């Protein structure tokens, strides 16, 4: 081991399941040790990469603590390292043979007593997290070092993932970073349901300034669709299409998703399905056009409860009053949106003034349901033909307020629950953004490949984040010590081991880095199947 490294102490106890304990050297300042710090244990046959999860003060005899030398600096120095000392708890995650003859692998054993513990250096971080390249993206830097920590984007997009944190901790900025990484690399196509219109166009930062939207950074590779064109124009943005949804595009499933918001009764579904049996896709328009006499006649002929049918009509009339809803959709713009995604263009759907939960859940479910159908058909065609041209692009769907779609009741009957559970095989995954992960179905949480978590205070939310994660007790301590801004814990499929980082600033330097590395637009035959990068004028002009 390089003697220039900063030695912290030596291993004194531990187990494979509970982690290791190390005694801190007397010369090492205890206050320099921080939970979440990246450490290296120098075993005889392996090097172990670990995270510091706790710091504890110890004494060789309780008598020393009965009458502590509180005001005697000399005695404090005498006792330090002999009668009093500190220990740290470590959670090893990876090990590497000393001769570097094999790749890093998960920890299957532990080092012997008195193995030395060192602070990790830049070389160690690079060995574990790699360097930034076409598929590795810098997400941040360690708390105590200035070296990039990268996530593996190829592994990130192949499973659904979550971004969690209480309000004000920077979830939106974390999400922008992740979306930028996938757009820059061309490794996936993105559909972002932008509830608060803060991803596609320029938006305000928490510091009061403005940050660039994805459209301005990546140019024409990002298409903006909007439910509220006036809002987009008023904010100085440009859009490609305004969304219009026909009553004939709304299924019973879409209505059931927002049943709580509409205060629908338990018999509403039965009444709606009776209408579908008779009027097919025209069921909703027919219901809203029914006179009281027609309602009574339909109830009598079908055995439907007349009062329930009348209540369903009254409550669903609110949908027709939405400016983006039409009686019938001919040549639906939703199909245009899906065509853009299939052509490997990224789409941001802004909601503008229609940021009520009803609008967000209704529109997102309708569009995602159609995407599910198209991607499934293309995947089945690819499996039949074996022609790579038939394979649909990898798609990542970003949803905020994810617990609305993925709570235990909704997850079992909505398209988002289906995607979280099984759509990986159809090249569609979710990026769920939420401040209440405890409200998301536990089966869905267990399917999330990577979890990027800012500060959480609620115990139930913290428990939910660590659903299915081994060694979560130690990681809970790490999560609880995060600052309220620009810090997060990353664990899961996209990183070799859990790591705490200061998140990468979303600033002018970041914009420039994205421009230099170059996003891609569909249309020409480049090696990754996408088109050549747009010009600098394209990137930074509206």
Give the confidence band of 422 by pLDDT, cuts at 50, 70, 90.
Answer: confident
Nearest to 452 by CA among 97, 134, 169: 169
In the three-class reduction of DSSP (H, G, I as helix; E, B as strand; rest coil), residue 204 is classed as strand
d(C-alpha 169, C-alpha 436), whole Å: 13
pLDDT at 75: 77
CATH number 1.10.3720.10 is the correct assignment for the domain at 152-244+332-507: no
DSSP 211-251: E--HHHHHGGGEEEEES-HHHHHHTT---SEE--EEGGG--
First to last CA, the chain: 54
Q: Under a CB-based contact definition with an 8 Å cutoff, are residues 120 and 49 in contact? A: yes
Q: Under a CB-based contact definition with an 8 Å cutoff, are residues 405 and 253 in contact? A: no
Who's near 30: CB < 8 A, 6+ residues apart? 24, 55, 57, 86
Distances (CA, A) of 28 to 9, 47, 162, 222, 408: 8, 21, 38, 51, 49
Number of other residues whose CB lies within 10 A of the CB of residue 133: 11
Span 377-410, pLDDT tens digits:
999 999 999 999 999 999 999 999 999 999 998 8
pLDDT at 1: 56
Span 24-79, pLDDT tens digits:
999 899 999 999 999 999 999 999 999 999 999 999 888 888 778 877 777 777 78
Q: What is the mean pLDDT of residues 465-473?
A: 85
Q: Under a CB-based contact definition with an 8 Å cutoff, are residues 231 and 350 in contact? A: yes
d(C-alpha 246, C-alpha 320), whole Å: 9
Span 317-376, pLDDT tens digits:
999 999 999 998 876 899 999 999 999 999 999 999 998 999 999 999 999 999 999 999
Instruction: Assess whether pLDDT exceeds 60 at residue 452.
Output: yes
Task: State the pTM of this model.
Answer: 0.88
Taking every pair of Cα atoms in the chain, the longest distance, rounded to a whole number of angstroms, is 96
Q: Under a CB-based contact definition with an 8 Å cutoff, are residues 84 and 57 in contact? A: yes
d(C-alpha 30, C-alpha 34), whole Å: 9
DSSP 422-456: HGGGGTEEEEEEES-GGGS-HHHHHH-SEEEE---
d(C-alpha 30, C-alpha 9), whole Å: 11
**Percent of the chain having pLDDT more than 70?**
93
Q: Under a CB-based contact definition with an 8 Å cutoff, are residues 134 and 495 in contact? A: no
Who's near 234: CB < 8 A, 6+ residues apart? none
In the three-class reduction of DSSP (H, G, I as helix; E, B as strand; rest coil), residue 295 is classed as helix
In the three-class reduction of DSSP (H, G, I as helix; E, B as strand; rest coil), residue 110 is classed as coil
Tokens 């570097």, located at residue: 100
Q: Under a CB-based contact definition with an 8 Å cutoff, are residues 304 and 298 in contact? A: yes
Instruction: Assess whether pLDDT exceeds 80 at residue 102.
Output: no
Q: Under a CB-based contact definition with an 8 Å cutoff, are residues 420 and 403 in contact? A: no
User: Where do runs of H (alpha helix) occur along 266-356?
Assistant: 268-279, 283-289, 292-302, 306-320, 333-342
Buried b / exposed e over 150-164, threshold 16 CB at 10 Å, is bbbbebbbbbbbbbb
d(C-alpha 262, C-alpha 312), whole Å: 9
Number of other residues whose CB lies within 10 A of the CB of residue 457: 9
């Amino acid at each position: 081991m390089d003697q220039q490294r900063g030695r912290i102490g030596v291993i004194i106890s531990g187990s494979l399941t509970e982690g290791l304990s190390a005694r801190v050297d007397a010369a090492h300042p205890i206050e320099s040790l921080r939970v979440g710090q990246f450490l290296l244990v120098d075993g005889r046959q392996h090097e172990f990469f670990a995270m510091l999860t706790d710091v504890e003060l110890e004494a060789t005899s309780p008598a020393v603590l009965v009458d502590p030398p509180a005001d005697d600096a000399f005695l404090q120095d005498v006792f330090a390292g002999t009668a009093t000392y500190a220990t740290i708890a470590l959670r090893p995650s990876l090990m590497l043979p000393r001769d570097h003859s094999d790749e890093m692998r998960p920890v299957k054993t532990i080092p012997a007593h008195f193995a030395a513990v060192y602070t990790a250096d830049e070389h160690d971080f690079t060995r574990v997290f790699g360097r930034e390249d076409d598929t590795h993206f810098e997400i941040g830097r360690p708390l105590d070092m200035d070296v990039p920590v990268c996530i593996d984007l190829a592994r990130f997009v192949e499973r659904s993932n979550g971004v969690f944190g209480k309000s004000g901790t920077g979830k939106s900025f974390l999400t922008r970073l992740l979306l930028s990484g996938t757009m820059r690399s061309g490794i996936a196509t993105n559909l972002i349901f932008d509830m608060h219109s803060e991803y596609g166009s320029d938006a305000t930062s928490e510091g009061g300034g403005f940050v660039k939207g994805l459209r301005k950074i990546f140019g024409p590779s990002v298409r903006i669709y909007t439910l509220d064109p006036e809002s987009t124009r008023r904010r100085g943005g440009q859009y490609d299409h305004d969304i219009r949804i026909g009553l004939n595009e709304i299924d019973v499933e879409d209505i059931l998703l927002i049943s709580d918001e509409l205060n629908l009764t338990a018999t509403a579904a039965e009444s709606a399905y009776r209408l579908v049996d008779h009027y097919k896709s025209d069921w909703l328009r027919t219901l809203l056009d029914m006179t009281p006499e027609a309602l009574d006649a339909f109830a009598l002929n079908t055995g439907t409860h007349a009062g329930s049918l009348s209540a369903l009509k009254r409550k669903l009339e609110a949908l027709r009053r939405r400016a983006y809803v039409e009686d019938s959709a001919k040549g639906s713009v939703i199909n245009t949106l899906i065509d853009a995604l299939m052509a490997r263009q990224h789409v941001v759907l802004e909601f503008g003034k229609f940021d009520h939960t009803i609008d967000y859940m209704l529109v997102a479910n309708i569009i995602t349901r159609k995407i599910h159908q198209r991607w499934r058909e293309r995947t089945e065609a690819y499996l039949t033909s074996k022609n790579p041209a038939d394979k649909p692009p990898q798609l990542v769907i970003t949803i905020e307020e994810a617990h609305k779609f993925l709570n235990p009741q909704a997850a079992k009957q909505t398209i988002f629950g289906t995607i979280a559970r099984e759509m990986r095989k159809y090249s569609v995954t979710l990026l769920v953004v939420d401040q209440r992960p405890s409200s998301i179905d536990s089966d869905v949480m267990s399917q999330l490949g990577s979890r990027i978590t800012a500060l959480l205070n609620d115990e139930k939310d913290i428990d939910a984040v660590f659903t299915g994660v081994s060694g979560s007790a130690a990681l809970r301590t790490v999560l609880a010590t995060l600052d309220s801004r620009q810090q997060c814990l990353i664990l899961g499929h996209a990183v070799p081991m859990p790591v705490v980082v200061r998140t990468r600033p979303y600033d002018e330097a970041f914009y420039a880095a994205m421009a230099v590395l170059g996003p891609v637009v569909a249309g020409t035959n480049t090696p990754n199947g996408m088109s050549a990068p747009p010009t600098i004028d394209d990137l930074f002009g509206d």
